[in-house]
Amino acid sequence: MRSRQIAIATCCLLAGGLAIAGFKADAPVGLDIAGRSAYATMAGARNSPDGAQFMLCALQGTTSGLHGYCTVRDANGIQRRCTTTNQHLLEVIKSIKDTSHIYFTWDENDTCTRIEATFSSVYGPKL
């Protein structure tokens, strides 16, 4: 009976270990003002130790149409935002999840020129 209890306990410990295994790659906010680009994973920004970082992409609809924007703030409190009405970029914003890696660029008028959302098991959910 004792050996069975030990076997069950061992299995439980091993199963628990498997639940936390796997490659993880959350990224805090990266902001390149000169290059007009920014990136982060949603979890990496949310779980950053400084309490300043965030990544936000959103859609807003009105009777005149739909527009979207992405906003980011880094650990130094530097914030950038771009806006778009481009249908392709709006589709990307619609697809963003809490396990997404977001990368976006903007032009001299703060108009989004590129928005990428990457989904992968390596990017954890924001906790």
Integer-rounded Cα radius of gyration of the chain = 20
Please, what is the average pLDDT of the chain? 85
- Residues 11-19, mean pLDDT to the nearest whole number: 43
Domain CATH code at residue 53: 2.40.50
| C-alpha–C-alpha distance, residues 7 and 10, integer Å | 5
Highest-scoring range by mean pLDDT, 20-24, 77-81, 120-124 = 77-81
> Does 77 fall in a domain?
yes
> Does 59 fall in a domain?
yes
> Does 8 fall in a domain?
no
Chain segment 26-53, per-residue pLDDT in tens: 889 999 999 999 999 988 888 898 989 9
Q: What's the total number of domains in the chain?
A: 1
61: Cα separation from own chain's centroid: 23
> Does 125 fall in a domain?
no
> Does 14 fall in a domain?
no
List the domain range (segments joined by +) for residue 112: 25-119
